[in-house]
Structures are given as structure tokens and as C-alpha cells.
Amino acid sequence: MNEPAFRRARSAQAKQAREEAILDAARALGRLRGVRDVTLTDIAAEVGMHKSALLRYFETREQIFLELTAEGWRQWSAELRGDLEGRTQATPAEVAAVVARSLAARPMFCDLLAQAPLNLERNVSIESVRCFKLVTLDEVGLIGAEFRRLLGLTESQCIDTISTATGMAGALWQMASPGPRLRELYTSDPRLGHAVVEVEPRLTRVLTALLTGLGATSATRA
């Protein structure tokens, strides 16, 4: 009598297990060789499915990676807020260091942050973009609440700060990870010394100055 319900449940569970396996494969390949070089065929081969079967679970390669970007936002935000919530006070430099460290510790998320607006959001359904945007806006709101509490920023200043942190994490990671061929060029030609970029120190300096400057601005206005 309750067999149909049971079968549906098992099927829903099986579906979820398959989706998880696909996301695991995409995550592993993306970490290994960078998101840019991972195709749908690669993911299907890694998970041991045919490409056409995989497309029953996800719309496109881009939807898989957009899903991983949303996951990255949730995990980064949770870790960052976990650190900030334990503080009753913090200087701009301390907040900047925590934000930069938490982003630099997530190289694939940095990669995805740059890929999302360029590539991932452009080859998926409108509904997928809507879901993704709602996740990011939620997390921006939650992180912003901590920035407001610790540094007295306005909502707009919080959004500008998170946009700079994630935008620069994406851009700097791409510059810092040019592949072995270009890294060899940058380190072998002394004229190209400044082409070598390190994500965490530069992001820390930029966010420290940004938060200091925002604080200075609100202080002048107060």
C-alpha cells in the first residue's frame, strides 16, 4: 500500500545521490585543473555516466558549476561569520585579514567567483540564475550584518565591501594562477616581476584600506 510512496522516496534519494556524485566529480576536477578546463564530457567520465544521462540531472556544464558557486557562497559565508560572530570588537585591518584569509583558503571558490558572471550565469535557465542570485543576496545580507555590527558600516557600504572582496578574490586568483607556462615566464623575465600576484596579501591590503576609508567617511559625516 505504501509501496508507491516508498518507491518515490527511494527514487528521490537515488536522484539526490546521483546529483551529489556529479557535483563531487565536478568539484574534484575543478580543483585539480581549474574550472575553465573542465568539460561536461570530463565530468560524465569521472562519475562514470554517459553525458546524455548526466543531462537528466543538470541543464548544462554551467549549471553544475553555478550550483558549486552557490555552495561556495554558503560555506564561505558560514565560516567567515563563524569567525566574526565570536568578536565583540574588531579593527578594519582585523576584519580585512579575516575576509582575505577565508577567501584565499578557497581557491576553487575564487575561480568560480570570476567564472560566474562571465560564463556560468550565461548558459543556464533563468530559474537557475534566480536561485543562484537569491543565495548570494542572502549571504551578502548575513555577512553585511556582521560588518555593520563590528564596523558601523551602512548597508550600501557593506555591499560595496563584499562586492570588492569577492570581485577582487576572483580577479586576483585568475592573475595568480596563470598555469605553469606563464608562471615560468613571470619568474624568469626580471621585467615581469610585478606580474606575479599573491591573492591573500594584496586582498588584505586592499580591504584594509577600503574599510579604513569607509570608516573615515562615516566618521566625517557623523
Is residue 72 close enough to count as binding a second copy by CB under 8 A? no
Task: State the Cα–Cα distance between residues 153 and 164, nearest whole angstrom.
Answer: 15
Task: State the Cα–Cα distance between residues 59 and 54, nearest whole angstrom.
Answer: 9
Q: Which is nearer to a second copy, 44 or 114 (CB)?
A: 114
Is residue 191 close enough to count as binding a second copy by CB under 8 A? yes
Query: How many residues appear in the chain?
Result: 222
Is residue 107 close enough to count as binding a second copy by CB under 8 A? no
Contact, 169 vs 199, CB < 8 A? yes
Is residue 64 close enough to count as binding a second copy by CB under 8 A? no
Q: Which is nearer to a second copy, 84 or 207 (CB)?
A: 207
Q: How many residues bind a second copy (CB under 8 A)?
A: 53
The CB-of-136 to a second copy minimum distance in angstroms stands at 8
Give me 214's grid cell: 569607509
| Coil/strand/helix, residue 197 | coil
Given candidates 46, 121, 145, 149, which one binds a second copy under the rule CB under 8 A?
Answer: 121
| Nearest of 119, 138, 3, 17 to residue 78 by alpha carbon | 138
Report the Cα 115 to chain-centroid distance in Å: 9
Q: Which is nearer to a second copy, 49 or 207 (CB)?
A: 207
Q: Which is nearer to a second copy, 82 or 167 (CB)?
A: 167
- H or E element: which one contains 25? helix 3-33
- H or E element: which one contains 190? none
Is residue 187 close enough to count as binding a second copy by CB under 8 A? no
Task: State the Cα–Cα distance between residues 221 and 186, nearest whole angstrom.
Answer: 45
Is residue 216 close enough to count as binding a second copy by CB under 8 A? yes
Which positions touch a second copy (CB under 8 A)?
Answer: 36, 92, 114-115, 117-119, 121-122, 126, 129-130, 133-134, 137, 140, 156-157, 159-160, 163-164, 167-168, 170-172, 174-175, 178-179, 181-182, 185-186, 189, 191-192, 194-195, 197, 202, 205-206, 208-214, 216-217
